[in-house]
Structure 1
Amino acid sequence: MSIDDTTTTPAAPPGAPRASIVHGDDGLDRCSWPGADAEYRRYHDEEWGHEQRDGRALYEKLCLEGFQAGLSWITILRRRPAFREVFQGFEPERVAAMTEDDVLRLLADERIIRHRGKIEATISNARAVLTLDEPLEELMWRFAPSPRPESSRPRAWSDVPAVTPESTAMSKELRRRGFRFVGPTTMYALMQATGMVDDHFVGCFRAGTS
Structure 2
Amino acid sequence: MKYESFDDIYSRACQRKGGVEALESLLSEPLSNKQLALIPDDRFLAQFSMSIFQSGFVWRVIRNKWPAFEEVFWEFNIEKLLMMPADMLERKSQDVRIVRNFTKVKTIPANAQMIRNIQLEHGSFAKFIANWPESDIVGLWLYLKKHGQRLGGNTGPYALRQLGKDTFILSSDVESYLRAHSIIEGGLYSKRSLDAIQRAFNHWQSESGRSLTELSRLIAYGVGENTVQA
What TM-score, normalized by structure 1, do the two folds share? 0.57
Partner of residue 86, structure 1: 72
Partner of residue 131, structure 2: 142
Distance 1:82 1:30 in 2: 33
Q: Which amino acid aligns with 2:164?
A: G
CA contact (8 A) 1:56 1:92 kept: yes
Alignment partner for residue 155 of structure 2, among 186, 190, 193?
Answer: 186
Tell me the percent identity. Answer: 20
Task: Label 1:81 to 1:175 Cα distance change in 2 as closer, same or farther (>3 A).
Answer: same
Deviation at 1:72, TM superposition (A): 3.1
Task: Label 1:30 to 1:104 Cα distance change in 2 as closer, same or farther (>3 A).
Answer: farther
Q: Which amino acid aligns with 1:91?
A: N
Task: Label 1:30 to 1:129 Cα distance change in 2 as closer, same or farther (>3 A).
Answer: same
Partner of residue 7, structure 1: none
Deviation at 1:67, TM superposition (A): 1.5
Distance 1:105 1:20 in 2: 49
Superposition RMSD in Å: 3.0
Distance 1:182 1:137 in 2: 17
CA contact (8 A) 1:79 1:111 kept: yes
Alignment partner for residue 100 of structure 2, among 92, 109, 114?
Answer: 114
Query: What whole-Å deviation, never above 9, does each CA across 1:95-152 have from its counterpart, x for those lacking one?
Result: 1112222222123212112111111110111122222211211222334637xxxxxx
Task: Label 1:20 to 1:190 Cα distance change in 2 as closer, same or farther (>3 A).
Answer: farther
Alignment partner for residue 144 of structure 2, among 171, 174, 188?
Answer: 174
Distance 1:56 1:190 in 2: 13
Look at both structures and tell me which one has the larger radius of gyration over its CA atoms.
Answer: 2
Instruction: Provide runs of 4+ in structure 1 moved above 6 Å.
Output: none
* SS of residue in 2 equivalent to 1:114: coil
Alignment partner for residue 68 of structure 1, among 54, 69, 72?
Answer: 54
Whether 1:195 aligns to 2:197 is no
Distance 1:196 1:20 in 2: 25
Distance 2:156 2:17 in 1: 22
Task: Label 1:49 to 1:100 Cα distance change in 2 as closer, same or farther (>3 A).
Answer: same
Partner of residue 124, structure 1: 110
Q: Which amino acid aligns with 2:64?
A: R
Distance 1:112 1:52 in 2: 28
Q: Which amino acid aligns with 1:174?
A: L
Partner of residue 88, structure 2: 102
CA contact (8 A) 2:115 2:125 kept: yes
Distance 2:161 2:17 in 1: 16
CA contact (8 A) 1:52 1:58 kept: no
